[in-house]
Each structure stands twice: as C-alpha cells, then as structure tokens.
Amino acid sequence: MTFLSISDPQVWLLAGMSVSVVFSILLFLVLILGIFTAVAKKTTEKAKVVKSTFADREQAKTFEKASEQDKAAVAMALYLYFEEKNNRENRVLTIVPYQSAWGAQLNPRL
C-alpha cells in the first residue's frame, strides 16, 4: 500500500518549493546581517574618532583640576545613590488579625 509515489509530480514540486523557501529566507537573513555589520563598523569608526578627539584634549578634568563645586556634586551624587541603595524595604507583609462580628460568626473559636 503506497500513499505517495516518488514519481508523483506534486511531491517534487512541494519538495522544491520548500527547499527554495528555506534558502531564500536564509539569503534574506544573510543580507540583513551584512547590512547590520556595515552599520556597526561605521558607528565604531565614528566612535573611535570621537574618543581620540576627547583623549587628545588637554581640557579633560582630573580630580586635582576639578573645582570645589564639581567635587561637591560628585560627593552628593554618591551620597544619594548609596542612601537610595540602603533604603530598600525588605518587602515583608505583616498581617494583623482584625476582630469583627463578621469573623466571629464565620469562626466560632474567635
């Protein structure tokens, strides 16, 4: 008992279409990844140029050259950050039983 014969033209058509769809999707993905790679290379080149211009500047502030206002701003930011970090609650829910007449009717032990 044979359900499909290999000589059936619909089987070859279906196999050919499925293989062509798979390879066309793979080709499309390769093209998209190639475009992403080209864009990423351009942005990294631009970032390197920008980074080198900032590195060459002698106006980059160091701690010794920083003004008192800059030092105070950094100290305040660090203080607020660590204060926020320590203020996290432990998220413990405390349930206190409430005595009511309704609860006494439902549970006679109360």
CA distance linking residue 24 with residue 15, whole number of Å: 14
CA distance linking residue 109 with residue 56, whole number of Å: 81
- Whether the CB-CB separation of 44 and 37 falls below 8 Å is answered with no
Token readout for 5 is 């014969």
Per-residue pLDDT tens listing for the chain (110 residues): 456 556 677 878 888 999 999 999 999 999 999 999 998 888 888 777 766 666 555 555 566 677 888 888 888 998 888 877 666 665 666 777 766 666 666 666 65
Return phi, psi of residue 18, to 5°. Answer: -65, -40
CA distance linking residue 104 with residue 8, whole number of Å: 80
